[in-house]
Structure 1
Amino acid sequence: MQGIRAAIVDLDGTMVDTLGDFDAALNAMLKDLGRPTVSRADIEHMVGKGSAHLIRSALLHGGLSSDGAAALQPEAWTRYQAHYLAINGQHSAVYPGVVEGLSALRARGLPLACLTNKPLSFARPLLQAKGLDGFFAHVFGGDSFERTKPDPLPLLKTCDALGTAPAQTLMVGDSQNDGLAARAAGCPVVLVTYGYNHGDPIAEAPHDRLIGSLSELA
């Protein structure tokens, strides 16, 4: 933590286990469309790259062609958004150690930002529902910037908002998207060993440190 002046924290799989929310909303959407449902294990491999990617992956998993999935995507998004907003946070839980870790970062005087590939209209209510919104000076979603993680742009823009140089801004996440974005942006990065990493070993993702709980940042 030496030299760190601010921190950027991912949401899904890092602070909140939202797999249950994804399960409920995604399968309700698929049922509306008459498409086959997907298992939690499959969803776990699909999440992390934004809602558009999640929906497309679920449609393709159900046997649709690429063109068929693309044609159905607008209606699927409308239905998914409605279902997700209706249940947002009801099937999710804050991971152990998150409040302690965020409190420790704040106690160091570090300004915090939440940066997620989740749409901002989903992210803000979830943080509020879980009592985490008060920790963050800024919240940015997958639709806040022109590109999403693993592109470095969202991290660079978030550093600008925090007023800190990338080299002084810690990225805390759970996936290769976070690691790759941090490396490209020039941010040090800590990854948690739980969460969602598309089924790949988290140790293979770019990182400076692996932790089992955000409380280890204290």
Structure 2
Amino acid sequence: MNKQLLIFDFDGTLIDSVPDLADATNAMLTTLGKDTYPIETIRNWIGNGSRLLVERALVGKVEVADGELTVEEADHAEQIFFEAYQNLSGSKTVAYPDVDDGLKKLHAAGYTLALVTNKPIRFVPKILQSFGWQDLFSEVMGGDSLPVKKPDPTPLLHVCETLNISVEQAVMIGDSRNDMLAGQNANMDTLGLSYGYNYGQDIRELNPTEAFDHFADLVAWIMKDRA
């Protein structure tokens, strides 16, 4: 694992944003006159981007069948969700243990760090700045930065091309099926973290190159090649 480029997912990998996302989701539902849901229910709807989160909340389940919602209904609800999320202070979003120290160690060791998230890009800079991470990442991609998002490999390949680093020298690091599939679809090594948002599925079942239960263990494993 002597890599140069470390591409990280965001929600569920570096940060736990479920409390704020749940508040925004329930604010949207309240505005629309619909029933709200407990945070643990909403947690299972997160990880595939804002649009699917909104659609799942509107129908109250993970699987949204064709024809259950009109495009107009989903568009309207998503705009309400965006406004609610934008208006939150973000104080409930926290970094997972050892992430702050680990990112700084990797950056100081000379690795190039990038961020590829399915979260809309408009919300990413504020969160990065809140943790003081805005200067750690050489490239940041949101779920709407390109026409496609993870598990499509295009955002990962775009990062490699932009930074002029080969796929062979890159690794995708994340907590979910989308992250592992995006990396595998890009013919890139993958590192899985077990503590995030993966709908109860063990990340190891998705056959990452390696998997870890703690961020500090991942950092130590990567850094051993620079020791």
TM range (shorter): over 0.9
The equivalent residue for 2:42 is: 43
Distance in 1 of aligned mates of 2:65 and 2:148: 26
Distance between the aligned counterparts of 1:104 and 1:189, measured in 2?
20
Q: How does 1:15-94 map to 2 (within 5 A)?
A: 15-61=14-60, 67=67, 69-70=69-70, 71-87=72-88, 89-94=90-95
How far apart in 2 are the matches of 1:25 and 1:114? 23
Decide whether aligned partners of structure 1 residues 19 and 140 sit closer, same or farther in structure 2, where only a CA change above 3 A counts.
same
In structure 1, runs of 5+ residues without a counterpart are none
Please state how far the C-alpha of 1:65 moved relative to its aligned partner.
7.5
Do 1:183 and 1:206's aligned partners in 2 also have CA atoms closer than 8 Å?
no
Amino acid at match of 1:194: Y
* C-alpha separation in 2, matches of 1:194 and 1:45: 13
Contact 1:117 1:141 in 2 (8 A): yes
C-alpha contact 1:115 1:141 (8 A) present in aligned 2: yes
Deviates more, 1:33-42 or 1:151-160: 33-42
Distance 1:65 1:34 in 2: 22
Paired residues of 1:55 and 1:76 also in contact (CA < 8 A) = yes
How far apart in 1 are the matches of 2:110 and 2:177? Answer: 28
Q: Name the residue aligned to 2:146.
A: 145
AA aligned opposite 1:73: A
Whichever residue aligns with residue 151 of structure 1, its letter is D
Residue of structure 1 in register with 2:207 after alignment: 206
Q: State the number of aligned residues.
A: 216
CA deviation vs aligned residue, 1:146-187 (integer Å, no higher than 9, x gap): 111011111111111221111210111110100011011011
SS at match of 1:69: coil
Partner Cα distance (2:199, 2:89) in 1: 22
Provide the residue aligned with 2:184 in structure 1. Answer: 183
TM-aligned CA deviation for residue 198 of structure 1: 2.0
- TM-score of the two chains, using structure 2 as the length reference: 0.90
> Root-mean-square deviation (CA), in Å?
1.7
Gaps of 5+ in 2: 221-227
Preserved contact between residue 113 and residue 162 of structure 1 (Cα < 8 Å)? no
Moved more, 101-110 or 17-26: 101-110
Distance 1:134 1:96 in 2: 20
* Residues 22 and 43, structure 2, Cα contact 8 Å, conserved in 1: no
CA distance change for structure 1 residues 88 and 143 in 2, over 3 Å: closer, same or farther?
farther
**Structure 2 CA distance, aligned partners of 1:107 and 1:148?**
29
Tell me what 1:196 maps to.
197
1:107-137 deviation line (CA, Å, top 9, x unaligned):
2211111110000001121111122222111
Same amino acid, percent of matched pairs: 36
C-alpha distance in 1, partners of 2:180/2:89? 27
Q: Take 1:72 and 1:43, find their aligned partners in 2: how far apart are those partners?
A: 19
2:65, 2:105 → 1: CA distance?
48
